[in-house]
Structure 1
Amino acid sequence: MKIIFIHGSGTDKNAWNNTIETLKNRHKCFAVNFNDRFGDPAEQALELGKFLDQFKNDSFVLVAHSSGGLAARKYLADNFQSHKTLKLITIGTPNLGSFGMFFNYAPILVEIIASIIALATEKYFLFSIALLAAGLDYIFYLLGIKLLSKAASAIKPNSRFLQDLNSKPLPKDVEYISIVSKPWYHFFGDGLASCESQRLSAKCISNFKEIKYKEININCPRTQEPNAVDAISSVI
């Protein structure tokens, strides 16, 4: 069986190296590498389609992390009849967006304003506030999100991209599996997407009641989700 791995925002195909190394003796594994790691999932869906064209009439399983799952859903919605997908497995995908992206401009604004006031008033302690804002920006970067990127705009709840994607049906001949990640130290999800957002539901698929769907839960840090080999192999 061919398995196509789709990376999420802020990473590349190498995020799947450990998983592919484990599965390659049982499956033929391939990994797409998007041109822009922080790109628009709609544009990445087109890249994914071109990548999948090389397999001609072969069927395959898609395994997608984070916003890569949105690109995969967009691909399936746009290729409703012509796709060759057997399963779509998503891990930590923000199907309903990430609440934190409502404030994606806040850190840079705080950095700028605090720095200007510090220089103008010579109250240099305000630079500590700018540093805290820069630290928050860096934390999101470690989670795979560049706050002023196309990816961040796309996963803002009720963004134009999500409104369009979540209004569309998905092919009924595909099996859908959500791997929902919630480390013990997070209350609502994996640090970027809530558990509710990581699930597929009628809120994000217009024909949800007609598709074959299941989900499994894991306790895994967001940055390690592509290495959740046991969870992935259990649903392939």
Structure 2
Amino acid sequence: MKAKLKLYSYWRSSRGHRVRIALSLKGIEYEYIPVNLLKGEQFDPDFMKINPMGTVPALVDGEVVITDSFAIIMYLDEKYPEPPLLPRDLHKRALNHQVASIISSGIQPHQNLADFLRFFFYLKKQKLKSKPIAGRHESIAWVNNAIRKGYTALEKLLVNCAGKYATGDEIYLADLFLVAQVHGAMIKFKIDVEPYPTLAKCYESYKELSVFEDAVAAKQPDAPALMI
């Protein structure tokens, strides 16, 4: 009997959230292995053998190990092609890649407050920065600005092509990234998507689907009991 795929993740990880949706959409059974980032379990020697970067998610499929959410999703889409996560239409395909790229490189990294503060502590330690380190409030304001700037770009990109979902009436790659981003920003930074009507409409549509609702942070095995 073939072993189940293993997904190493953390309940509040928006990167892990994307992957959980992909697995559910494809109907793939997998073993969820929690990695508590607050306790530093991502730096445990055993996990570092799986992912030397010390980040989640990480997917293990037999001898195959993939440690980037975008790469994991593309791997799953090629190995399990139904339902497809990319449309045949070249323009819509490019739009899906754009949305994924804007979120994965232009928004998500900036909202990881722990990494943001760790970076400034590193600069201070190395004496590369003469100004006082930014406080928590200044850091959160900076993160909020980055998220809203990204949302503005996504709204303009999708306003003329969205249907029920981001790029039409079928679920594709863009939707996985968008729902995880919006949900993560809401629970971490209380940023509402309402000022962005296209994004808000898509997010409401996602709530109607069990594959999206089952993947939310609060429903994961490692989520605190008070979240459920």
Specify which structure has the higher proportion of strand.
Answer: 1
Give the TM-score normalised by the residue count of structure 2.
Answer: 0.32
TM-score (structure 1 length as normaliser): 0.31
Larger radius of gyration: 1
